Chains A and B, each alone.
Chain A
């Protein structure tokens, strides 16, 4: 009996990064256009479509359910930023919301069988690098360039390499943590599918019936819970690192 290929389940486990769709060579420099970027566009379209849907026909009185959801989301993220970073960082809220939504939806598309955006290390490195830039800019803004450079020799000049290392380690650890959780969870889920398909083949079934239902329990943790947790933790750490780069809130009231 001939069974279509997509019904037989994975025959061998393949762990790799994003596929390259097109690449542009400029001299020795290669600019790759990968699968991840297309998925990012899908995610952006979904998020912006959702936002536009939720904020359609806003009213001051007699609000619709959509509007209540939109207001709750905005107020929740605003309160989170205010509680974590202080009132002077409120302008930062849209960026926090951006990373949060991007991370959650980018991870959740793995439920549709697509490759999660956040299982591409480059994506997370980008966000971590943005965080690093903001941290550095904040330090220079509040301490001046001299104060920023002096901070590396604190408390004694011998600490210089360790301080530089810890400065670089902050965003790297953030990116690696998120990447490791999502990619590792993805690989574990792939292993589960692969193993269950093999079990089905072993007892002589062409269609891997064991892959129905059983992985959903694991998917609950590795996809849903882990995705939300990692997105939340990524923005929490981002906010904590950035707000710690500046002076304490009450000391900065005059300057902001």
Chain B
């Protein structure tokens, strides 16, 4: 055969051989590898889908948790507020009670004092009256009628009372 000869037999057999190699490569290399690659792609897709689902679930759980947290915070704030209000009321009541007690006690003391003074005045008046009568009897040494007597005493007492 020549260097640059074209041979029909070689062409036909080469065509056949190329076809055989084409089918062989397709069957032995491309089909299994592409099957594996698509299976792996499917696995990757599934994993991604799972991850996506998990993320969605986690987000839902987080939202729920956040809501619960907010509610709890509100509740605690309410409790604190109520307790503060109660405590304030209570302290005001106590202070008011204490003030009322103090006022009562002072009132009683003042009444007592006033009564004491009254009694002392009355006692003093009668003592002064007796004293004045005896002093006057001794000084005047004369009989005076009871009317004058009483009038004099009253005048005296008035003057003493004014001087008080």
Name A's B-contacting residues (CB within 8 A).
15-20, 23-24, 29-34, 36-37, 40-41, 44, 47-48, 51-52, 54-55, 58-61, 67, 70-71, 73-75, 93-95, 97-99, 101-102, 120-123, 125-127, 129-130, 179, 183
Contacts and interface: CB of A to CB of B under 8 A. Distances in A.
Contact of A71 (B8, B10, B20, B33): B33
Contacts of A31: 8-9, 12
Closest 10 CB pairs of A and B: A17-B1, A122-B10, A32-B9, A51-B29, A51-B28, A126-B14, A98-B22, A94-B26, A74-B33, A31-B9
Interface of B: 1-15, 17-18, 20-22, 24-26, 28-30, 32-37, 39-40, 43
A71 B25 contact: no
B1 A20 contact: yes
Given A44-B24, A47-B21, A59-B36, A97 B30 contact: yes
B78 to A, nearest CB: 56
Contact of B43 (A60, A101, A130): A60
Contacts, number: 134
Given A55-B28, A102-B21, A18 B37 contact: no
B29 A44 contact: no
B29 A54 contact: yes
A29 B12 CA distance: 13
B14 A123 contact: yes
Contact of B5 (A15, A58, A121, A126): A121
Contacts of B18: 98-99, 102, 126-127, 130
A122 B21 contact: no
24 contacts: A16-B1, A17-B3, A17-B7, A19-B1, A31-B12, A34-B1, A37-B10, A37-B17, A44-B20, A47-B25, A51-B25, A55-B29, A58-B33, A61-B43, A93-B30, A97-B25, A98-B18, A101-B25, A122-B14, A123-B14, A125-B6, A126-B10, A126-B11, A183-B3
Contacts of A41: 17
A17 B28 CA distance: 33
Contacts of A121: 4-6
Contact of A40 (B6, B14, B24): B14
A75 B38 CA distance: 12
Contacts of B34: 74
Interface centre among B10, B25, B32 (most CB of A within 10 A): B10
Given A17-B3, A98-B18, 13 more contacts: A16-B3, A18-B10, A23-B9, A32-B1, A44-B21, A55-B28, A55-B33, A94-B26, A98-B21, A122-B14, A123-B10, A126-B14, A130-B15
A34 to B, nearest CB: 5
- Could you say which of B3, B26, B33, B34 has the most chain A C-beta atoms within 10 Å of its C-beta? B33
Contacts of B10: 18, 32, 34, 36-37, 120, 122-123, 126
A122 B6 contact: yes
Most buried by B among A17, A30, A130: A17
Contact of B3 (A15, A19, A24, A73): A15
Contact of B29 (A30, A74, A120): A74
Contacts of B14: 36-37, 40, 122-123, 126-127
Contacts of B40: 60
Contacts of B8: 29-32
B152 to A, nearest CB: 137
B11 A44 contact: no
B144 to A, nearest CB: 144
A73 B32 CA distance: 13
B2 A16 contact: yes
Contacts of A120: 10
A61 B47 CA distance: 13
Contacts of B37: 71, 74-75
